[in-house]
Amino acid sequence: MSLPEGVERRDIDGQETLATRGPPISEEATDGAWRAWDPRRSKLAAMVAVGLDLPITAGEPVLYLGAAAGTTASHVADLAPTYAVEFAPRPARDLVAVAADRDRLFPLLADAREPESYAHVVEPVETIVQDVATRDQADVALANREFLREDGRLALAIKARSVDVTDDPDAVFESELDALREGYEILDRARLDRFHEDHLGVIARPRYCHKQNA
């Protein structure tokens, strides 16, 4: 497993952890300019920790769907310009505060299920990161596929309990992957249970994207 430029494994507070360089949030553990990126608090970091290759290139734009209070989005913004979409007003306020001292983090109060509401702002991106706790997670990824460059990648965390709390997680994952295949080719996947119970990390690329001018 290779780490993207800007992500390192470092010993912070006596524990090896993923880390990025940027302003820390609250009481976040640091080592000089490096800040710990905890897989227990970040599904994207968990995807890296379980061996999935993170499809983010330094300096290339990212669309982050489901940014919540901005913890993971801030780490992504340490690496690349990041459009961070969050629907709920309370975490969105925290996201705005996190973005205040980060000139590459652009918070958007919007619904990821309605990409037309931010299409006038978001440029074609290399990567979509999605962590949206909703029933229609594959549909959200399909709706936002229009923003991906033809050689872009999707990094998706599927939360089984948000799709169907009564069904077996494996069955939920397969159902969501089948739906996702309508517009994406699945490149890799891995369970994240070591850090986040009943979650599946997925790396995919778009299938039938229209040509875009980057």
Question: What strand order describes the sheet that includes 62-65?
Answer: 105-109, 82-86, 62-65, 125-130, 148-159, 199-206, 184-191
Which of 142, 162, 170, 165 minimizes the C-alpha distance to 154? Answer: 142
Show binding-site residues: 71-72, 86-87, 111-112, 131-134
Distances (CA, A) of 162 to 71, 85, 169, 176, 201: 21, 18, 10, 12, 15
Burial 97-136 (b: 16+ CB within 10 A, else e): ebbeebebbbbbbbbbeebeebeeebebbbbbbbbbeeee
Task: Looking at the chain, list the stretches that DSSP marks H as alpha helix, in order from N- to C-terminal side.
Answer: 43-49, 71-79, 89-99, 137-143, 160-163, 169-180
> How long is the chain?
214
Show binding-site residues for S-adenosyl-L-methionine: 71-72, 86-87, 111-112, 131-134
